[in-house]
Amino acid sequence: MQKKFNRIVIFGVGLIGGSFALALKKSAAVRQIVGVGRSHASLETAKQLGIIDHIATSVEEAVLGADLIIIAAPVAQTELILRSIEPFLASSTIVTDAGSTKTDVVAAARLALGDKIGQFVPAHPIAGRELNGPEAALVDLYVGKKAVITRLPENTDESVARVAWAWQQCGAIIHHLEPEQHDAVFAAVSHLPHLLAYALVDDIARKPHADTLFQYAASGFRDFTRIAGSSPEMWRDITLANRVAMLEELDSYTARLAELRTYLVSADSDAIEGVYRRAQHARHNWISAIEAAEKQHREGGD
């Protein structure tokens, strides 16, 4: 049985950090939430929305007395934030993050925290929206979603359990992966699709007749490019942090496109239909599996 958090500090009170705060407040898993961030206006908004209770006046003031610190800022800021925290970090405080990449975050944490690295439990909640900022935060953003913990050899079972409990209080389902495995998986199913969507919109926007093209873009285009509405800064950081795995996925994908191109050139009806049919089938099976898992989860399983 885990006990309530006394003081949680959130670095970056936007969509991800704000939704975490709202969910923990709703489940009464925390007494006080403190916000730290680059934009004071954004922190004021978060306070007015009841997402945080207090805006920290300094990192020192924020960190002292915290039992959990979560970094929910673009991943490239992780090292700097951890360096600013480290001098004030009590041995009883657990630090975690919500970054979409893990290998780089772990490397940054090792540099910044030194022999306090055991206090850092890396995590990644698999949820998002194409909107940013505290106004976009949702109390139920994580309900039924996965939260992946990529534990370090230095982590204690207790600190891992504490971070897991926090995400469970948000309604998330805990998964465990190695940091490298995490990054390879998300390069394929999340990071590359974001790059592809951004690239398509940019390609169309640069054409001389872009206005006409956008005029006839409809719901299929809207869904396909929804993720291109995401924060450019956040996704620039993710792309750079995970560029080795992303290059591998990009090369695999462009090889597939080159193959399809030859089918188009030769008007190979069977080959084109084969690709489309396999894809439709795989997607159908995937959706069915998701829906079965969601049903099981709603009915109290896990």
Per the CB < 8 A criterion, the answer to whether 11 and 73 are in contact is: yes
What x/- string results for residues 74 through 113 when contact with a copy of itself is judged by CB under 8 A?
A: ----------------------------------------
Query: What is the CA angle 146-246-127, rounded to 5?
Result: 20
Minimum distance between the CB of residue 131 and a copy of itself, rounded to whole angstroms?
11
CA distance 56 to 62: 5
Does residue 126 interact with a copy of itself by CB under 8 A?
yes
Q: How far is the CB of 253 from a copy of itself (least distance, A)?
A: 5
Contact between 220 and a copy of itself by CB under 8 A: the answer reads yes
144: alpha, beta or left? (left if phi > 0; alpha if psi -120 to 50):
left
Q: Which stretch binds a copy of itself (CB under 8 A): 9-17, 39-47, 77-85, 198-206?
A: 198-206
Q: Determine, following the binding rule CB under 8 A, whether residue 41 of this chain makes contact with a copy of itself.
A: no
Which 3 state secondary structure label does DSSP give 14? coil
Strands 68-71 and 54-55: unpaired
What's the one-letter identity of residue 230? S
Spatial neighbors of 300 by CB under 8 A, at least 6 apart, are none
CB of 168 to a copy of itself, least distance (A): 18
Contact with a copy of itself (CB under 8 A) among 273, 295, 296, 298: 273
What does the alpha-carbon distance between residue 9 and residue 17 come to, in Å, rounded to a whole number? 10
* 252 binds a copy of itself, rule: CB under 8 A: yes
Dist. CA 158–CA 171, nearest whole Å: 20
**Minimal distance in Å, beta carbon 11 to a copy of itself?**
21
- Which of 64, 260 has the CB closer to a copy of itself? 260
Stretch that binds a copy of itself, among 3-11, 54-62, 113-121, 180-188 (CB under 8 A): 180-188
Alpha carbon distance 285, 289 (integer Å): 6
Give the one residue of 26, 256, 295, 298 binding a copy of itself; rule: CB under 8 A.
Answer: 256
Task: Rule CB under 8 A: say whether 292 interacts with a copy of itself.
Answer: no
* Residue 73 makes contact with a copy of itself by CB under 8 A: no
Q: Which of 106, 187, 175, 190 is nearest to 144 (CA)?
A: 175
Q: Are 238 and 75 in contact (CB under 8 A)?
A: yes
Does 222 interact with a copy of itself (rule: CB under 8 A)? yes
Q: Which is nearer to a copy of itself, 111 or 213 (CB)?
A: 213
